[in-house]
Amino acid sequence: MRKLTTLLLGGTVAIAALAGAAYAQNPMVGGAAMYATKNIVENAVNSKDHTTLVAAVKAGGLVETLQSTGPFTVFAPTNEAFAALPAGTVETLLKPENKDKLVKILTCHVVGAKALAADVTKMVKDDGGAHKVKTAGGCELTLKTDGGKVTVTDENGTVANVTIADVEQSNGVIHVIDKVLLPKM
């Protein structure tokens, strides 16, 4: 009996370790576990660092889009990134009459392909130090790498740093960034 108990306990520990390893692949974001089996919206709603982004996605009517098959690469600004915009900007953008502008800004953070940090690094290297990419919103972003870190520059010259890379989703990948990217207006 003792041998059986030891065997069962050992098997349980091994299964728990394997399950933990499966979840350890994705970094925590905003104090929450991010699951590769969930879509972008299902994970983002759990991040305390992305409540502004989630509210904006809902106000823009983009929930269904970001729950679809994808694949997508989302450069996800934190609450701090939104707070750094001029006073009143977020509140103004969330008003129904500004929905088109909000959608344009949000879709300028989305690329219609899955690109992990290693993919971006290769594209940047292959393109001689900078790789330009079109977003779902029609914006052009410039991707660069510096010391193993990815940066994203918008059409206005704002440089966002990827602070958490490769948060894999069932329909793509999220890279957390420290600035809001804006289209040239």
Determine the CATH number of domain 2-177.
2.30.180.10
How many CA atoms lie within 13 Å of 160's alpha carbon, on the beta-carbon side? 31
- Burial of residue 33 (CB within 10 Å: 0-12, 13-18, 19+) is middle
Full-model pTM: 0.85
* Most distant CA atoms of the chain, gap in Å: 74
Domain ranges of the chain: 2-177
Q: How confident is the model at residue 14 (pLDDT cuts 50, 70, 90)?
A: very low
Question: Cis link prior to 71 (omega < 30° from 0)?
Answer: yes
Condensed to tens digits (0 to 9), the pLDDT of residues 68-122 reads 998 999 999 999 999 999 999 999 999 999 999 999 999 999 999 999 999 999 9
